Amino acid sequence: MYQFLEHFTEGAAKSTRRLRYAQLKAFFNCIIDKCHHDMKNPCDAPLLSKTFRMPRHVPRIILDKKTVDEMIYNTKNPRNRLILELQARCGLRIGELLNMKAQDISERKLIIKKPKSGKETEVAFMPEPIAKRMSDYLKGNKLLPGDYVFPISYSTARMFIRKLGSKLNVSLSPHDLRRYSATYAS
């Protein structure tokens, strides 16, 4: 069984290897439950369970409101501040922000095209102060409807957020701001 899984998952990511092991184990459990009650699952071998075990779950730390507010209010660049606010206050993913075009913004409404949920579009709403800053940003940069609102790469946005976090002695990624938004919205 070990050799089969090694050959079958050769070159695959660890998560894919673990998934294939779990699927094979579930398959054998199903067969054992339905047909062969006295059979032992071949995937229960210590070598297999050790090789393909799940990693330990590391709990994520949720940022506190004071830290997020300090980050946002100390960011002077209007573009960077809007990125932070849209993630922390509206719960947008960084990829959704970077793919947003000027035509996708209407007053307080943000139309998210091709969201991760698989839907064609989704709608998010901005608080009034953020909507005003967004309007000023769009007018100030003279963005046309087809222009990207934030024409930067994912790695640039990620690096900016990480540097901002290091100034506050916080390990920070773009998704931490979305997680903060979801936590405090609930």
The full 3-state SS of the chain, as one line of letters, equals CHHHHHHHCCCCCHHHHHHHHHHHHHHHHHHHHHCCCCCCCHHHCHHHHHHCCCCCCCCCCCCCHHHHHHHHHCCCCHHHHHHHHHHHHHCCCHHHHHCCEHHHEECCEEEEECCCCCCCEEEEECCHHHHHHHHHHHHHCCCCCCCECCCCCHHHHHHHHHHHHHHCCCCCCHHHHHHHHHHHHC
Residue the block writes with tokens 């540097």: 163
Give me 8's structure tokens: 């079958």
Tell me what pLDDT residue 43 has.
87
Model confidence at 15: pLDDT above 90: no
Tell me what pLDDT residue 104 has.
92
The pTM for the full model equals 0.68
Model confidence at 136: pLDDT above 90: yes
pLDDT band, very low/low/confident/very high, at 172 (cuts 50, 70, 90): confident
Tell me what pLDDT residue 26 has.
92
Which amino acid, one-letter code, is at 71? M
Q: What percent of the chain has pLDDT over 70?
A: 100
Tell me what pLDDT residue 129 has.
92
Tell me what pLDDT residue 44 has.
87
Residue 110, C-beta contacts closer than 8 angstroms, at least 6 positions apart: 86, 90, 92, 100, 104, 123, 124, 125, 126
Residue the block writes with tokens 């290091």: 166
Which of 131, 26, 149 lies closest to 85, judged by CA?
Answer: 131
**Ordered structural domains, the chain, with CATH:** 2-51 (no CATH), 65-185 (1.10.443.10)
Tell me what pLDDT residue 141 has.
92
